[in-house]
Structure 1
Amino acid sequence: MKTVAMVLFPDFLLLDMAGPMEVFSVANRYLKPECHYQLTTLGTERGALRASNGVMVHTDRHIEDASAAYDLLLVPGGPGAYNEKHPPLLAWLKGAVKRAERYGSICTGAFVLGHAGLLDGYRVTTHWNYTERLTKAFPNAKVATDQIYVEDRNLITSGGVTAGIDMALAVVAGDHGKKLAQDVAKVLLVVMKRQGGQAQFSPLMAAVAPHETPITRVQNHVLEHLDEAFSVERMAGLANMSARHFARMFTREVNMTPMDFLQSARIDCARNLLETSDLPLKTVAYKSGFGSVRHMRILFGEKLGLTPAQYREQFS
Structure 2
Amino acid sequence: MKKRTKSESAPTGSARKRVVILGLVPVDALDVIGPAEVFGLASRMHKGETAPYSLELISSGSDVHLESETGIGLRGHRTLDEERRASLPIDTLIVASGMSSPEQLDPRAIDWIKTRAKNVRRVCSICVGAFALAEAGLLDGRRATTHWSAAQRLADRYPKVQVEPNPIWVKDGNVYTSAGISSGIDLALSLVGEDLGNEFALELAKYLVLFLRRPGGQAQFSVALRAQQGLGPTLDGLRHWINEHLNTEMTVEMLADVAATSVRTLVRLFQRELKTTPAKYVEDVRLEAVCRALELGGRSLETIARRCGYQSVDVLRRAFVRRLGVTPKEYAQRFAIESKLA
TM-score (norm 2): 0.67
For residue 52 of structure 1, report the CA deviation from its aligned partner: 1.4
Which blocks of at least 5 consecutive residues in structure 1 are unaligned?
211-215, 272-291
The residue number in structure 2 matching 1:86 is 106
The residue number in structure 2 matching 1:250 is 269
| CA spacing shift, 1:107–1:222, aligned 2, 3 Å | same
Q: Pick from 48, 51, 56 the counterpart of residue 40 of structure 1.
A: 56
Aligned residue pairs total 286
CA RMSD of aligned residues (A): 4.0
The residue number in structure 2 matching 1:11 is 26
| CA spacing shift, 1:20–1:239, aligned 2, 3 Å | closer
For residue 257 of structure 1, report the CA deviation from its aligned partner: 3.2
Counterparts of 1:186 and 1:209 in 2: how far apart (Å)?
Answer: 38
For residue 16 of structure 1, report the CA deviation from its aligned partner: 1.1
Counterparts of 2:144 and 2:238 in 1: how far apart (Å)?
Answer: 34
Counterparts of 1:223 and 1:192 in 2: how far apart (Å)?
Answer: 29
The residue number in structure 1 matching 2:68 is 51
Give 1:161's aligned amino acid: I
For residue 44 of structure 1, report the CA deviation from its aligned partner: 1.3
1:117-132 correspondence to structure 2 within 5 Å: 117-132=137-152
For residue 294 of structure 1, report the CA deviation from its aligned partner: 6.4
Asked if residue 140 in structure 1 is aligned to residue 140 in structure 2, the reply is no
Would you say the 8 A contact 1:145–1:198 is kept in 2? Answer: no
Give 2:199's aligned amino acid: K
| CA spacing shift, 1:54–1:257, aligned 2, 3 Å | same
Which blocks of at least 5 consecutive residues in structure 2 are unaligned?
1-15, 292-303, 311-315
The residue number in structure 2 matching 1:23 is 38
For residue 224 of structure 1, report the CA deviation from its aligned partner: 8.0
Give 2:140's aligned amino acid: D
Give 1:25's aligned amino acid: G
Counterparts of 2:123 and 2:215 in 1: how far apart (Å)?
Answer: 26
Would you say the 8 A contact 1:250–1:256 is kept in 2? Answer: no
- Per mean C-alpha deviation after superposition, the further-off stretch among 147-156 and 61-70 is 147-156
1:1-316 correspondence to structure 2 within 5 Å: 1-29=16-44, 30-32=46-48, 34-47=50-63, 48-66=65-83, 67-68=86-87, 69-190=89-210, 193-194=213-214, 197-199=217-219, 201-203=221-223, 205=226, 216=232, 218-220=234-236, 222=238, 242-243=262-263, 245-254=264-273, 255-258=275-278, 295=307
For residue 106 of structure 1, report the CA deviation from its aligned partner: 1.4
Would you say the 8 A contact 2:179–2:220 is kept in 1? Answer: no
Give 1:97's aligned amino acid: A
Counterparts of 1:246 and 1:191 in 2: how far apart (Å)?
Answer: 43
For residue 103 of structure 1, report the CA deviation from its aligned partner: 1.2
| CA spacing shift, 1:293–1:183, aligned 2, 3 Å | closer
| CA spacing shift, 1:221–1:125, aligned 2, 3 Å | closer
Counterparts of 1:103 and 1:263 in 2: how far apart (Å)?
Answer: 32
For residue 165 of structure 1, report the CA deviation from its aligned partner: 1.5
Counterparts of 2:235 and 2:202 in 1: how far apart (Å)?
Answer: 46
Deviations 1:244-268 (CA, angstroms, capped at 9, x unpaired): x324533553433346557878999
For residue 105 of structure 1, report the CA deviation from its aligned partner: 0.7
SS at match of 1:6: strand
Counterparts of 1:45 and 1:200 in 2: how far apart (Å)?
Answer: 31
Deviations 1:132-186 (CA, angstroms, capped at 9, x unpaired): 3333332222333443332222212223211212221222222222333233222
Give 2:112's aligned amino acid: W
For residue 63 of structure 1, report the CA deviation from its aligned partner: 0.6
Counterparts of 2:206 and 2:336 in 1: how far apart (Å)?
Answer: 22
For residue 235 of structure 1, report the CA deviation from its aligned partner: 7.0
Deviations 1:216-262 (CA, angstroms, capped at 9, x unpaired): 4523554687788898668757998644x324533553433346557
SS at match of 2:219: helix
SS at match of 2:185: helix
Counterparts of 2:260 and 2:285 in 1: how far apart (Å)?
Answer: 22
For residue 189 of structure 1, report the CA deviation from its aligned partner: 1.7
For residue 110 of structure 1, report the CA deviation from its aligned partner: 0.9
Give 1:62's aligned amino acid: T
TM-score (norm 1): 0.71
SS at match of 2:104: coil
| CA spacing shift, 1:242–1:157, aligned 2, 3 Å | closer
Would you say the 8 A contact 2:25–2:98 is kept in 1? Answer: no
Counterparts of 1:89 and 1:108 in 2: how far apart (Å)?
Answer: 15
